[in-house]
């Protein structure tokens, strides 16, 4: 990469991605293509179902539809570029395109953390304070929680992208990752990347800590309330409404924490790539199925919609 001026304006990077072997690239292309198509179908299907079935027009499913839309954006920020690069030997990405992908990736990841925390709070109010649920989780408050999550995500992304703009790149241009993720990009900088690395480590730690704490407090209160009730049916219903969300939380946060729990930005690249695949592609793909297969209301809504369609055809 030839340096011009400060080396950033005309810079191009190469995304190394995964294995260099051609047959492995083809297999990965097929696997990731199937995952992306399933992600699109699953999340769009869930969005349509929630929109068409009146019984699902509740705060819980408003958050779920917001999560599905976010997962569509999240996976579409990464997957199309990855699929193209698996078939392209050059795998070039411009400096502007790289920072754009970096911005949206950080924005969507941060937003999802806060949205999952908002969903945990929704379950807490529904189970622990049911008489106040309609007031505490009014449409205005739900909109505020979702928009607040988006605002935090966009602000966090703007901070890190702004810090990345100060970096100059005048040496090696190969990013050892399959998308423009912060630490591998910072490692190529001719400018001292310590402020970027430290900023990402601290902000990621803060956002993860505050949202995980909110989720843990919500579920600790739910557990106490459930154990305090004598109704076995009530316990089963409470656990069934929380199980899907907990599964999504564990899958998303488990892979995300494994990625950002280390301060070093120059080690364990292969493990980072595997973790990244989980929270950028696997989690968005599985979310709609986790909620559909473990949620009686979603399944009932689907059968109701199919029955309505069958009646219309007659």
Q: Beta partners for 174?
A: 14
Cα dist from 88 to 12, 13, 17, whole Å:
15, 14, 11
Average pLDDT in the 212-224 region? 91
Note the pLDDT of residue 257. 74
User: pTM score, two decimals?
Assistant: 0.87
Average pLDDT taken over every residue of the chain: 84
Given a cut of 50, is residue 304 above it in pLDDT?
Answer: yes
Spatial distance between the Cα atoms of 261 and 106, rounded to a whole number of angstroms: 16
Average pLDDT in the 46-70 region? 90
Longest dimension (CA), the chain: 72
Query: 17-313 in CATH: which number?
Result: 1.20.1070.10
Which of 134-143, 174-183, 254-263, 305-314 bottoms out in mean pLDDT, i.e. has the lowest?
305-314
Given a cut of 90, is residue 191 above it in pLDDT?
Answer: no
Note the pLDDT of residue 266. 46
Note the pLDDT of residue 239. 67
Considering only residues 306 and 222, tell me which one the structure prediction assigns the higher pLDDT: 222
Considering only residues 47 and 263, tell me which one the structure prediction assigns the higher pLDDT: 47
Average pLDDT in the 99-115 region? 95
- Over the stretch 132-188, which tens digit does the pLDDT of each residue have? 898 999 999 999 999 999 999 999 999 999 999 988 888 788 888 899 988 889 988
Note the pLDDT of residue 140. 95
Beta-carbon count within 10 A of 150 CB: 18
Residue-range domain boundaries for the chain? 17-313
Note the pLDDT of residue 241. 67
124: which DSSP letter? Answer: H
């Amino acid at each position: 990469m030839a340096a011009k001026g400060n080396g950033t304006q005309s810079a191009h990077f190469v995304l190394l991605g995964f294995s260099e072997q051609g047959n492995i690239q083809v297999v990965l292309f097929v696997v990731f293509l199937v995952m992306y198509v399933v992600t699109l179908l699953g999340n769009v299907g869930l969005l349509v179902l929630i929109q068409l079935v009146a019984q699902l027009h509740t705060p819980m499913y408003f958050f779920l539809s917001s999560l599905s839309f976010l997962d569509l954006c999240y996976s579409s920020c990464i997957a199309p570029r990855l699929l193209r690069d698996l078939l392209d030997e050059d795998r070039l990405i411009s400096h502007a395109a790289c920072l754009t992908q970096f911005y949206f990736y950080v924005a969507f990841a941060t937003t999802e953390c806060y949205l999952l925390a908002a969903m945990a709070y929704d379950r807490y109010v529904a189970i622990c304070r049911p008489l106040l649920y309609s007031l505490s989780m009014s449409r205005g408050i739900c909109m505020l929680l979702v928009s607040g999550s988006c605002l935090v995500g966009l602000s966090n992304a703007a901070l890190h992208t702004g810090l990345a703009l100060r970096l100059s790149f005048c040496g090696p241009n190969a990013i050892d990752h399959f998308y423009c993720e912060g630490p591998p990009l910072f490692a190529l900088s001719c400018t001292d990347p310590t402020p970027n690395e430290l900023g990402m480590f601290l902000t990621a730690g803060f956002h993860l800590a505050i949202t995980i704490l909110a989720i843990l407090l919500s579920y600790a209160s739910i557990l106490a309330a459930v154990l305090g009730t004598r109704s076995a049916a009530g316990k089963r219903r409470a656990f069934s409404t929380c199980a899907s969300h907990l599964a999504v939380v564990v899958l998303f946060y488990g892979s995300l924490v494994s990625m950002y729990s280390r301060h070093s930005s120059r080690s364990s690249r292969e493990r980072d790539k595997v973790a990244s695949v989980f929270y950028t592609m696997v989690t968005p793909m599985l979310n709609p199925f986790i909620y559909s297969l473990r949620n009686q209301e979603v399944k009932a809504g689907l059968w109701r919609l199919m029955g309505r369609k069958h009646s219309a055809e007659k």
